[in-house]
Structure 1
Amino acid sequence: MKSMTTTFATLLEPFHLWDLPLANRVVMAPMTRARAGKDRIPNALMAEYYGQRASAGLIIAEATTISEQANGWNESPGVYTDAMVEGWQLTTQAVHAKGGKIFLQLWHMGRASHSSFHGGQLPIAPSAIKINNGEEIHTPLGKQPYEVPRAIETEEIPGIIEEYRQAAIRAKAAGFDGIEIHSANGYLLDTFLQSKTNHRTDAYGGSATNRCRLLLEILDAVTTVWDSRRVGVRFSPNGSFNDMGSPDFREQFTYAASQLNRYNLAYLHVMDGLAFGFHELGEPLTLADFRAVYDGVLMGNCGYDRSSAETAIATGQADLIAIGRPFISNPDLVERYTNNWALNPDADMATWYAPTGAEGYTDFPTYAA
């Protein structure tokens, strides 16, 4: 498979993501916003939020848990019940009504969870290694210290893979255009990939090949549900979030990316920027590093503004660029880019994850001359 890079392309021109036409190369990055309520069922307010931002070439909806065991964030949405599927249909219908395209990011929080989300049972991880970053987790009981997770037994792994497959089925039933497998930011699949957090001695640990095994088996499973060209994967090779960063990160992530070539995926979504924290364990991996080993559509992410996004597209470093925070306060971000209009002030961080309803969520104005 050859790269789909179009050198000297522009950020705002259309792009064919295989058989899925995108109006532009601006992607709305997945951002947890905690508006699904205690039942984790997506709702009309969320549909309004995503519908407001449907001019993005592609929206990647916020991280969405695949099972009760995958939970670990207050009032984040799930996709493991019929009611959740029905709730997400409101969002996909709202986005499609405006001509937009939307993928769902499938999430398992792993050790970044807490026993209070699981009836007193410890969160799971590849190895019994806790997050040790001096921070605490927001739980239903308030802020709590991170716990030492329970190492997953080998015989449990097929069940987790099946949860991803079932989530893929439900995402299709909800009307999404595709799915993204969240293998970044210190959540379950990222902790399997990285030597810092994976000290297993079975077939899922001990080497770069083995540490990739779970991700690849999940891709094998979800691509029985979706055409592989509607499945993306997200990596954060440079990130320190959730106490991540492995000395062999360059070898691990370039190897993992090379293994994705066999799938003919929708894209590889790389958090190459350092704005989310850098572990400083070597020279950061760049989009160029991934271009050298990955043949498909490449998406950059983390800290991009319009200028840096334009440069990445024009020079062929990336085919698509995911933009996060500017989309929070600018529902019409693409129109603002198109017309060189000024952006709204940044959103108040206190409203990013708070269950505040419309405030800081759907109440940002579109541009008015």
Structure 2
Amino acid sequence: MSQIQDPLFQPWQLGSLTLPNRIVMPPMTRSRASQPGDVPNPLMAEYYAQRASAGLIISEGTWIAPMGKGYAWTPGLCSPEQIAGWRQVTDAVHQADGRIFAQLWHVGRLSHTSLLGGQSPVSSSPIQAEGVKVFVAGDDGAPGFVQASMPRALSIEDIQAVVAEYRLAARHALEAGFDGVELHAANGYLVNQFIDSHANQRTDAYGGSLENRLRFLGEVTQALIEGTGDAGRVGIRLAPLTTLNGCVDADPETTYLEAARQLGIAGVAYIHIAEADWEDAPLMPTAFKQRLRQLFPGTMIYAGQYTAERARTAIEEGWADLIGFGRPFVANPDLPARLRQGAPLNQPDRETLFGGGAHGLTDYPTLD
């Protein structure tokens, strides 16, 4: 298939950005921020710049405030040092002719007291994510996994404070040179803990009815639009069927179709759907995807073990505009060139996914 005919290599307009192809590098935690302070560093700048041929890069999850942190060595976006560190990253990506959004992250209950200065995590409701492990640095500095701590429920005043933290994080993202921001509202993290019915047992304006469970999503989305000054700089990541980290909804199609409708009214640039991608995971029906397309007028991104051929089919069928390739981008900094040529792909080293140095981050070979 020639590049002229290949749907993966057609340009796409995303807000004010013209993307040269439909290939997205989705957010992937790599846990390599510098210590102390969880500061983005030159190694991270090299990693992202190597992958700047993607139509769009979405950064690894970046916590908006200290209480939003859930894993060791993940970067933040609130201190002056973190903002300056991210500026090194965005400058490197832009110098390589790339485009990059910051994924704004608050993990909610998926954290541990050792990561939060001894404080309990927060959530929509005081429900522990039983059996869910989070990545921490032990007393000896070695990495390990521990059970997520019991959370406390956010008060109404707490909720408004978190919304304000999101607004400020969006401003920090622009200060750091990002082209836009993506709200992480998927995979069982804080926003998801309000949306999904089994994680939200509130009886106030933020719980119970679908309208109430979507209220926090709507308020945070509006805060990001205000923080960036442009709805075209805002995307939202959702995971309707993943059931990750203990978040399950009783009627996900109804819930997420309504979420898409509301996000369309808000005018955000895109919805990024994280499909379940583990063995025996529930398939997301094509009819569901087509209904999302009908309700949301913006760009639709899908990610979840897509091959080049599955990606081309999704775009040709019209329910997807852009496709995220996660693990392939870990091991293939020149992934678009490989997909265009049908070249073999390097396989990622699972032992180096989280933590460490350059090995397994910036030393994968390119076609050249």
Mapped to 1, the partners of 2:279 and 2:83 lie a distance apart of 34
The root-mean-square deviation of aligned C-alpha atoms, in Å, is 1.8
Tell me if structure 1 keeps the 8 A contact 2:253–2:288: no
- 1:46 is matched by which residue type in structure 2? M
The structural deviation recorded for 1:285 is: 7.6
The structural deviation recorded for 1:277 is: 6.8
Q: Residue 360 of structure 2 aligns with which residue?
A: 360
Q: Kindly tell me: are residues 16 and 208 of structure 1, through their superposed partners in 2, closer, same or farther at Cα, counting changes over 3 Å?
A: same
Mapped to 2, the partners of 1:238 and 1:316 lie a distance apart of 21
Gaps in structure 1 of 5+ consecutive residues: 1-7
**Equivalent position to 1:210, from 209, 212, 216:** 212
**Equivalent position to 2:79, from 72, 78, 81:** 81
Mapped to 2, the partners of 1:76 and 1:177 lie a distance apart of 21
- 2:93 is matched by which residue type in structure 1? V
Q: Kindly tell me: are residues 69 and 52 of structure 1, through their superposed partners in 2, closer, same or farther at Cα, counting changes over 3 Å?
A: same
The structural deviation recorded for 1:279 is: 7.0
Q: Residue 29 of structure 1 aligns with which residue?
A: 26
Identical amino acids, percent of aligned pairs: 43
Answer with 52-61 or 244-253: which moved more.
244-253
Tell me if structure 2 keeps the 8 A contact 1:186–1:241: yes
The structural deviation recorded for 1:13 is: 1.3
Q: Residue 141 of structure 2 aligns with which residue?
A: none
User: Would you say how many aligned residue pairs link Structure 1 and Structure 2?
Assistant: 357
Deviating 4+ runs (over 6 angstroms): 281-285
- 2:208 is matched by which residue type in structure 1? G
- 2:8 is matched by which residue type in structure 1? L
The structural deviation recorded for 1:287 is: 2.1
The structural deviation recorded for 1:158 is: 1.0
The structural deviation recorded for 1:244 is: 2.0
The structural deviation recorded for 1:80 is: 0.5
Tell me if structure 2 keeps the 8 A contact 1:125–1:191: yes
Q: Residue 239 of structure 2 aligns with which residue?
A: 236
After superposition, what is the alpha-carbon deviation per residue over 1:284-303, rounded to whole angstroms, capped at 9, x for unaligned?
98422311322211111111
Q: Residue 11 of structure 1 aligns with which residue?
A: 8
Mapped to 2, the partners of 1:182 and 1:67 lie a distance apart of 14
State the SS of the aligned residue for 2:57. Answer: strand
The structural deviation recorded for 1:271 is: 1.4
Tell me if structure 2 keeps the 8 A contact 1:245–1:279: no
Tell me if structure 2 keeps the 8 A contact 1:241–1:277: no
The structural deviation recorded for 1:144 is: 2.3
The structural deviation recorded for 1:255 is: 0.9
After superposition, what is the alpha-carbon deviation per residue over 1:333-363, rounded to whole angstroms, capped at 9, x for unaligned?
001112222111x111111012x20010000
The structural deviation recorded for 1:67 is: 0.4
Q: Residue 329 of structure 1 aligns with which residue?
A: 331
- 1:250 is matched by which residue type in structure 2? E
State the SS of the aligned residue for 1:54. Answer: coil
Does 2:346 correspond to 1:349? no
Answer with 316-325 or 134-143: which moved more.
134-143
Q: Kindly tell me: are residues 108 and 277 of structure 1, through their superposed partners in 2, closer, same or farther at Cα, counting changes over 3 Å?
A: farther
The structural deviation recorded for 1:136 is: 2.7
**Equivalent position to 2:308, from 306, 309, 323:** 306
Answer with 101-110 or 220-229: which moved more.
220-229
TM-score by length of 1: 0.93
Mapped to 1, the partners of 2:269 and 2:260 lie a distance apart of 13
Tell me if structure 1 keeps the 8 A contact 2:241–2:284: no
Mapped to 1, the partners of 2:252 and 2:286 lie a distance apart of 9
